[in-house]
Amino acid sequence: FFVVEYGGHRVQKCSLEGICTVVAGNGTQGDDSYQLDSPLGMAVDASGDYLIFDAGNNRLQLCPSGGTGDPCVTQKQWNSDLNRGPVSTGDMVTVGMVVDDGSVIMAFSNKNQLR
């Protein structure tokens, strides 16, 4: 199972035995490819990679699952209107996301939208 740490600025993958490994973010708030800012949700794609909604940066990050230490790659970044463009920090509140045959569907509670 996964633990998305909003205040810890990271995502951990945990075994049923309680052993956890950080798979994204380094615990420091930021907008670098190795950092997250208040992540709120995640999904696993067909390749096993992690799609993480990085709420503080208004972006969707694709993070490799291979444990190679590779940085995450920004897949999409939004402004407050859910369009690509300049980021307006803190505007997006996602309540869920799923991956279906390569498409990412996200629910935004403060915009009453699915994208």
pLDDT digit string (tens) for 84-103? 444 344 455 556 666 766 66
Grade residue 82 by pLDDT with cuts at 50, 70 and 90.
Answer: very low
Q: For residue 14, give its domain range.
A: 2-114
Residue 87, domain CATH: 2.40.10.500
List, edge to edge, every strand of the sheet that includes 20-24. 2-5, 10-14, 20-24
Phi, then psi, of 47 in degrees rounded to 5: -85, -5
99/105 Cα distance (integer angstroms): 6
> How many structural domains are present in the chain?
1
Question: pTM (2 decimals)?
Answer: 0.73
Phi, then psi, of 88 in degrees rounded to 5: -115, 95
Whole-number pLDDT of residue 87: 38
Rg over CA atoms, the chain: 13
29: which DSSP letter?
B
C-alpha 18, offset from chain centre: 22
pLDDT digits (tens, 9 = 90+) for 22-59: 999 999 999 988 899 999 888 888 888 888 988 888 88
Whole-number pLDDT of residue 16: 95
26/96 Cα distance (integer angstroms): 23
115/51 Cα distance (integer angstroms): 14
